[in-house]
Amino acid sequence: MVHAISASRSAAHSYFEGDDEAKARGLFQLLADDGTPIDEQGLAGFDRELSRQLFEGMLRIRVTDARMMALQRQGRIGFYGEAMGQEAAVVGSAAASAPEDWIVPALREAGVGLYRGMTLDAYISQIFGNATDVTKGRQLPCHPCDREHHYVQMSSCVSTQIPHAVGIAMAMKIQGHTGRCAIGFMGDGGVSEADFHVAMNFAGVMKSPVVLICQNNQWAISTPGHIQTASETIAIKGLGYGIEPLRADGNDVFAVYETVRYAAEKARRGDGPSFVELLTYRVSAHSSSDDPTRYRDEKVTEVWRHQKDPLRRMEAFLKAKGWLEAGEREALAAKLETDVREAIARAEAAGPPAVETLVDDVYEEQPWHLREQLTELLAADRVKSPHSH
Ligand SMILES: Cc1ncc(C[n+]2csc(CCOP(=O)(O)OP(=O)(O)O)c2C)c(N)n1
Ligand SMILES: [Mg+2]
């Protein structure tokens, strides 16, 4: 469910009234690492219900990721990429999006889809590439999509999401669909790709109704941020394209929400694009195929895993407010885990897509050579009974 809260003005909100250079070099925060409010007034608009909903969204990602990684290690799925440590950036952005907006995700934003209403069944079916996967098992795991909730399937090539998001935004503008925007995501590695520069330039010149969000998790597989770019911050790159830069603590779900909300409202009003850097950290490995102990100091990771953990921060805030009882997190995690396990059981029971779907969706009428190949394939022993191994 997507929430709208009323705007509140506070000392922290003066961040948004600063000049662009200050925004690009600054860091917008509402909650300290330990969960104490930096700015009570800035947090005034977040009631118990919304705060708990944000926490639940973050916890769902944490629980789901852990389960899916376990499945990968058990050989039940082929690949997985976690968003551990980045849950606040994901959920804060999702909560600030509106149902009519379109989301163009990169690798770590499945939680945006889930927060907007994509079901766990849809998500997990895609990971299995099974018969209930709407994309018929044609993509690598971690490429979910959901048309109803305006969540586009990721293109695997780094940074292609940016021209896609700008293109969708331009299509909305040309079709006169005002009052909505496209929200495109990338990682810090994405900003070194040509697509990023092309799309940023285009969005700036055309005043596209788009919010481009860089989850700066400080690593692009084994490439650290200081090798990725010589730029002072990532947000500051927006200046060169005439795009308003914004920079927020990506582990502070409230700061993320307010920053993306500011940018999205501006885009929906027709006042042009923003480039948002969310500073966070990739606590997990890049993916199930990666071993970060080979290239980074995991003592640094431990700081982000514990002291800077976005869930711990939010839990401390909620408890101090009296909005989360002792033991409630554990109970909620157990319930979310049950949801995931049940969805996994359904996904596994569904089995693989029918072999015939291999040749679907390309030609309106199947050409003779595909019919011939399909007949041959169906006659092959290993294809006849996909479950018998
Ligand atoms: C054009 C292209 N080059 C290389 C890759 C392989 N690759 C997949 S993810 C990735 C790193 C991405 O890093 P970043 O953009 O920081 O996102 P993160 O994984 O940290 O979320 C690379 C190099 C790719 N998918 N596409
Ligand atoms: Mg990265």
Angle between helices 48-73 and 253-269 (to 10 degrees): 100
User: What is the separation of C-alpha 39 from the centre of its chain, rounded to a whole number of angstroms?
Assistant: 26
pLDDT at 292: 98
pLDDT at 163: 98
Q: Which residue type occupies 350?
A: A
Residue 199 has pLDDT above 90, yes or no: yes
Residue 11 has pLDDT above 60, yes or no: no
Instruction: Report the pLDDT averaged over residues 196-212.
Output: 98
DSSP of 75-134: TSSS-----TT-HHHHHHHHHHS-TTSEEE--TT-HHHHHHHT--HHHHHHHHHT-TT-T
User: What DSSP character marks residue 238?
Assistant: G
pLDDT at 332: 98
pLDDT at 381: 74
Count of CB atoms situated within 10 Å of the CB of 367: 10
Domain 12-353 CATH superfamily: Thiamin diphosphate (ThDP)-binding fold, Pyr/PP domains (3.40.50.970)
Rounded distance, CA 82 to CA 377, Å? Answer: 36
The CA 254 to ligand 1 mean position distance, Å, reads 27
Instruction: Report the pLDDT averaged over residues 269-277.
Output: 98
Residue 15 has pLDDT above 60, yes or no: yes
Q: Where in the chain is the domain with CATH 3.40.50.970?
A: 12-353
The CA 106 to ligand 1 mean position distance, Å, reads 9
Ligand 1 atom with the shortest distance to the CA of 86: 21
pLDDT bin (cut points 50, 70, 90) of residue 384 is low
Q: What is the pTM of this model?
A: 0.95
Categorise residue 218: left if φ over 0, alpha if ψ from -120 to 50, beta otherwise. left
Contact 168, 185 (CB under 8 A): no
Instruction: Report the pLDDT averaged over residues 103-107.
Output: 97
The CA 187 to ligand 1 mean position distance, Å, reads 8
Pairwise pLDDT comparison (274 vs 9), residue with the higher score: 274
Name the one residue in this structure whose structure tokens are 């006169």: 176
Q: Which residues line ligand 1 (CB under 6 A)?
A: 107-108, 156-158, 186-190, 217, 219-221, 282, 286
Instruction: Please report which ligand is nearest the Cα atom of 286.
Output: 1
| Residues with catalytic roles | 282, 286, 295
Q: Which of 140, 158, 162, 286 to mutate to test the pocket of ligand 1 (most atoms within 8 A of CB)?
A: 158
